Structure 1
């Protein structure tokens, strides 16, 4: 949820209006037309809860503005847009069964599927479960107005996801009603068809969106189909209130999983897949539906924010566990099948304190979230037939519940700005085991911790600000990380402890005139009980706690409108993430000083955009990433460093009520062969996931606006 009172605060009125009303162009949210107002201080709510210019906040937060569309991107994966955010490493697995891999300052790099270590939100509603597991695919880029990314100590105010927060805000329907359609084709059988309708006025608006994406996949056995639906209706009953209803769905049936590759297999044929992927027809089906409500009301200068959400998610996944292992009664089988029901809500009060000197705002609130999985496991064979659902081997109900109260104060006094926050984070995991042939794994475990943060900023000049931030955080194990204990015995790993951290950050924010913005920060993170892979064999990954780790890094971003026709973005991230003490892993010792796998030391992104006329936009993107270690001993072949370049062009024409657009895109211009992502600690040494060579895409669309 986010406040919409546009007259407060007055100095931010222009930026706030542009961000919260969505499109500037009345004809198309993806317009390439030039914008008269240069926005170098985007207004954000993540980290502050009330609208505040990001330049005025004493911590690292960046905004990706999508109010004019994705400008030549395919709007399929978050990897298309989050590369512009420092501190993040976004790896496209080219595997829609496992989703993207996103890490922030080293958090989340170890995730075998989906996103963990970062909290995902969509319009203030969690896209992460209470235990910290999230799916990037649930954030729909076709309807995004902006994405805010919070990193560092202030992120601990959002619960047990110490790595940061990624929050997407959908646009409001504005202006005369319009309908649109577009289609895009490309390499490896890629095809995306998209339909949309939206419109609104000062009191109400709507957005309807439907898309289908098909691909044969770059690698063998990696075909996927993704259907997404989005519907949003907002109303403003009076000047002091706003209500929004939001529905979204995601469906992927029989998405093929090519698994990882050994180094030799990758070098021999980057498109190859492991033989067991074909033998067991590894695949995953997802059916996700969610309904949410946001309500907001002003009481004088105070603001009440309230949301509720509920939904269901069904997943069936066929793994490649060998029949000889899956036959063992002590194992849970090679088919994961669960039906999840989830719900929750947030209640928040934002109160300016007029009696205090300067500008003091206090926020108090509480978040409640619960997900309940009816989880079953089956053998992945029946007789001699492999890759089918066989006998039952696991049957349990897993319930994750969190209730987190918090308080935050934002105080501006002269040249000083202070943010102080405290959250009591708690998560209970309860297991009710109904399959007792292999013993009773029932039980429960509660994780809880107070997570304070303090950030202080000083304005040296109106355009130069420096800040210091410190915070305590913790990261609970996810259900997937607790699902299997090390060894052959099938039991829940209640012995896994949360990782606790202390984070420090020092940064500077610098405005170089109206058109250029520079942000830079150095950080250090000390973590105890880091959650690491204990073993990953026969389709099972189990986890354990290691000792201490140390992350030190630097990140910087430069955004500049060089002229009315040229814009540039340069983003650099350096993360030196290492173990800070020895620990035993099986029969070997992981030594102090070893690098954390999955975390590149250096990551550099650059983009140059040219808009010579109102009807054309052309961009060149460059990405460098240093080598990536793939397991804790650092002895296996690291994924080598690489540099790739992409090129895109988008055209747009207007004819009366009609708007037409076309796009052409070439990825990996110089046909570089490289490893796009890694699977950390894979026991079969299938660590590597090849990225595509040179790929092309072309698309066209139209939109009709009703008068």
Structure 2
């Protein structure tokens, strides 16, 4: 019998009660910079923020998808779609659940470089897990201090090159033709640290027509120009050529064969190619107690995607081939100033963030002389530019047993469209969205081991270029979309039980006006509209505990009720107040039990439960059923003089359950479902030599 979420929760909490007072403690209070913008222990911050350390990112994991690490964070729903043409689906307290591809509504940042465009569309695939030192996840009202489209913030930080130089190589093989090869070099020499990394991943994919090849490179140089400053230069790239897109599945096809692919994917040979490169610089200088932080970046991204949408005429701007070249750049300047004349510990932070992306975008038919899946006649040619310029001010104040944080950001996002295909009319235009997004949080320390906090804020989410690209009523750009505006409230408790157990709990409520929803999604292209009000209420619980010298456990539980709070009409149908938002499970649970009998070996059982997920706004179509899955992993390590060897074994979906791993919200063809793999195995080995 599949265990329920409450049963798993009771089991894990019962295990926690067996912890001994004299056990060796876990690192239960990591320091993060997200939210406060300076290093602070998560336990002392008055909002929901979590840090994922390097061991949790790497231990027994594949190092391929961010879902491997992010599943342990409450409030997040991370769905590996088994489709590298569309990237992961990530939602934070319901923000981003409707995304048809990539990540939206959540701010993604890697080493200070946004992995999200100014309009809010992000790509988690650009995160290089092989070089990650830590990942920080901020949820709730404090996230609005990061601007528009920040229903949550996920930051990844790469490690600095430190210690003696060393080189390494590893290989990983597994089910469905998975093969990953990885080379690395890092260390420090002549006062400078370096990290070099390159990998290639190939897979046939679990489903038919879902093969992919991903090449990633990374280079980082860090050094100190003088005693009061530090500088890092960072380069990264991602290349995927001809990544196959299996599209979604209809229910009957999924049940009959979870590996199946719709005939439209084969008929049009749906696929996507990506070429992404970026270069960034982080500079920090200390002026006595004050700190100057400067970040600049630039990059380019080229994408060509073949959809399953018929489009054979030059007048159809919604043709089946999307082709764009993007240039992006930006930077930020932050000043952190301690106020020594104020009581307690007060720091004022002022800053300015600027981001710009420009797409040279074309659209073509995907049919030539009756042959599908090829580039045909031009039907769309335009320059799309998104720009944001956001000044902000923030105060962090520790005053006795009180911790206070307040901030105000003025967010501006401008979208410009310059139409160069004007034979069917000029669709050029411009739209500017701007709003002040305040946030305030307060925490009180009842004891050194028991803190309670309250947090409130306002945010707004602008339509992305992709969401505005297609109109529901014409071929042109949809400038009628409005930004959604939210009010967020959160109360929480953070507690330490002895030295070995840490518990975070939070209740939250989010009300949103003009919620952006999918009007229709067909073969990879979606159109959007504004709905009325939505209401999200939820509870999060995170726990980590060291049971004894060899056993540890962690848990992340989320209960979220996300509903429409007013009636609206979508695609000719009335959506009733009280309907549930599609793509948002009401219950999510992750639990892990880790055993480390020796320093050189660790093994763990992971369990995940997710309740059913509605797939469209009427809630009438078959929901993706609830499921529970269990995984096992092990890592071994040996050291022989200058050499370090390691091996990884992993079995996913131990009970070989058939389940829907992710859904495509509002798919117009009824292809809502994306099957997850059955039982899968992975094995890897690597070696590192230290000079």
In structure 2, the partner of 1:549 is 534
Q: Are positions 1:638 and 2:623 aligned together?
A: yes
Distance, in Å, in 1 between the alignment partners of 2:102 and 2:262 is: 21
Moved more, 58-67 or 186-195: 58-67
| Aligned-pair CA distance for 1:261 | 0.3
In structure 2, the partner of 1:513 is 498
- Preserved CA contact (<8 Å) 2:28 2:501: yes
Q: Which of 438, 452, 473 pairs up with 1:466? A: 452
Q: Helix, strand or coil for the counterpart of 1:506?
A: strand
* Pairs within 5 Å for 1:154-193: 154-193=142-181
In structure 2, the partner of 1:522 is 507
| Aligned-pair CA distance for 1:162 | 3.5
| Aligned-pair CA distance for 1:38 | 4.1
Q: Helix, strand or coil for the counterpart of 2:596?
A: strand
Distance, in Å, in 1 between the alignment partners of 2:24 and 2:159 is: 20
Distance, in Å, in 2 between the alignment partners of 1:218 and 1:180 is: 29
Distance, in Å, in 1 between the alignment partners of 2:210 and 2:571 is: 33
* Alpha-carbon RMSD: 1.2
Q: Helix, strand or coil for the counterpart of 1:703?
A: strand
| Aligned-pair CA distance for 1:437 | 2.4
Distance, in Å, in 1 between the alignment partners of 2:167 and 2:142 is: 40
Q: How many residues align?
A: 669
Distance, in Å, in 1 between the alignment partners of 2:356 and 2:322 is: 21
Q: Are positions 1:367 and 2:365 aligned together?
A: no
Q: Helix, strand or coil for the counterpart of 1:81?
A: helix
Q: Which of 543, 549, 564 pairs up with 1:579? A: 564
Classify 1:498/1:655 alpha carbon distance in 2 versus 1 (closer, same or farther; 3 Å): same
- Preserved CA contact (<8 Å) 2:25 2:500: no
* Pairs within 5 Å for 1:582-597: 582-597=567-582
- Preserved CA contact (<8 Å) 1:67 1:171: no
| Aligned-pair CA distance for 1:327 | 3.0
Moved more, 194-203 or 219-228: 194-203
Distance, in Å, in 2 between the alignment partners of 1:36 and 1:596 is: 44
Distance, in Å, in 1 between the alignment partners of 2:427 and 2:499 is: 61
Q: Are positions 1:681 and 2:666 aligned together?
A: yes
Distance, in Å, in 1 between the alignment partners of 2:29 and 2:226 is: 29
Distance, in Å, in 2 between the alignment partners of 1:539 and 1:554 is: 33
- Preserved CA contact (<8 Å) 1:666 1:696: yes
Distance, in Å, in 2 between the alignment partners of 1:137 and 1:300 is: 39
* Pairs within 5 Å for 1:688-707: 688-706=673-691
Moved more, 235-244 or 55-64: 235-244
Q: Which of 79, 82, 86 pairs up with 2:70? A: 82
Distance, in Å, in 1 between the alignment partners of 2:631 and 2:241 is: 30
- Preserved CA contact (<8 Å) 1:603 1:624: yes
| Aligned-pair CA distance for 1:512 | 1.1
Q: Which of 71, 76, 93 pairs up with 1:105? A: 93
In structure 1, the partner of 2:362 is 376
Kindly provide the CA deviation profile for residues 194-223 of structure 1, in whole angstroms up to 9, marking residues without a partner as x.
Answer: 000000269420000000000000000000
In structure 1, the partner of 2:252 is 264
Kindly provide the CA deviation profile for residues 587-623 of structure 1, in whole angstroms up to 9, marking residues without a partner as x.
Answer: 2100000000000000000001111001111011000
Distance, in Å, in 1 between the alignment partners of 2:190 and 2:573 is: 65
Q: Helix, strand or coil for the counterpart of 1:237?
A: strand
Q: Which of 472, 475, 480 pairs up with 2:466? A: 480
Q: Which of 421, 425, 437 pairs up with 2:423? A: 437
Q: Are positions 1:504 and 2:504 aligned together?
A: no
Distance, in Å, in 1 between the alignment partners of 2:55 and 2:277 is: 25
In structure 2, the partner of 1:245 is 233
- Preserved CA contact (<8 Å) 2:352 2:392: yes
In structure 2, the partner of 1:403 is 389
Distance, in Å, in 1 between the alignment partners of 2:227 and 2:41 is: 23
Q: Are positions 1:297 and 2:285 aligned together?
A: yes
| Aligned-pair CA distance for 1:123 | 1.0
| Aligned-pair CA distance for 1:239 | 2.1
Distance, in Å, in 2 between the alignment partners of 1:552 and 1:567 is: 31
Specify every segment of 5 or more residues in structure 2 that has no aligned partner in the other structure, as ranges. 1-22
Q: Which of 455, 477, 480 pairs up with 1:495? A: 480
Distance, in Å, in 2 between the alignment partners of 1:623 and 1:304 is: 43
- Preserved CA contact (<8 Å) 1:330 1:438: no
Q: Are positions 1:628 and 2:627 aligned together?
A: no
* TM-score normalised by the chain length of structure 1: 0.93
Distance, in Å, in 2 between the alignment partners of 1:364 and 1:694 is: 51
- Preserved CA contact (<8 Å) 2:314 2:377: no
Distance, in Å, in 2 between the alignment partners of 1:567 and 1:161 is: 36
Q: Are positions 1:558 and 2:546 aligned together?
A: no
| Aligned-pair CA distance for 1:562 | 1.5
- Preserved CA contact (<8 Å) 2:312 2:368: no
| Aligned-pair CA distance for 1:329 | 1.8
* TM-score normalised by the chain length of structure 2: 0.96
Distance, in Å, in 1 between the alignment partners of 2:573 and 2:404 is: 47
In structure 2, the partner of 1:23 is none
Q: Helix, strand or coil for the counterpart of 2:71?
A: helix
Q: Helix, strand or coil for the counterpart of 2:253?
A: helix
Distance, in Å, in 2 between the alignment partners of 1:425 and 1:555 is: 29
Distance, in Å, in 2 between the alignment partners of 1:573 and 1:446 is: 36
Specify every segment of 5 or more residues in structure 1 that has no aligned partner in the other structure, as ranges. 1-34
Kindly provide the CA deviation profile for residues 85-117 of structure 1, in whole angstroms up to 9, marking residues without a partner as x.
Answer: 000000010000000000000000000000001
Q: Which of 119, 133, 136 pairs up with 1:145? A: 133
Distance, in Å, in 2 between the alignment partners of 1:207 and 1:331 is: 45
- Preserved CA contact (<8 Å) 1:196 1:209: yes
Classify 1:678/1:68 alpha carbon distance in 2 versus 1 (closer, same or farther; 3 Å): closer
Distance, in Å, in 1 between the alignment partners of 2:131 and 2:291 is: 26
Q: Helix, strand or coil for the counterpart of 1:236?
A: strand
Q: Which of 652, 667, 673 pairs up with 2:652? A: 667
In structure 1, the partner of 2:276 is 288
Distance, in Å, in 2 between the alignment partners of 1:38 and 1:327 is: 62
Q: Are positions 1:419 and 2:405 aligned together?
A: yes
In structure 2, the partner of 1:7 is none
| Aligned-pair CA distance for 1:486 | 0.2
- Preserved CA contact (<8 Å) 1:160 1:475: yes
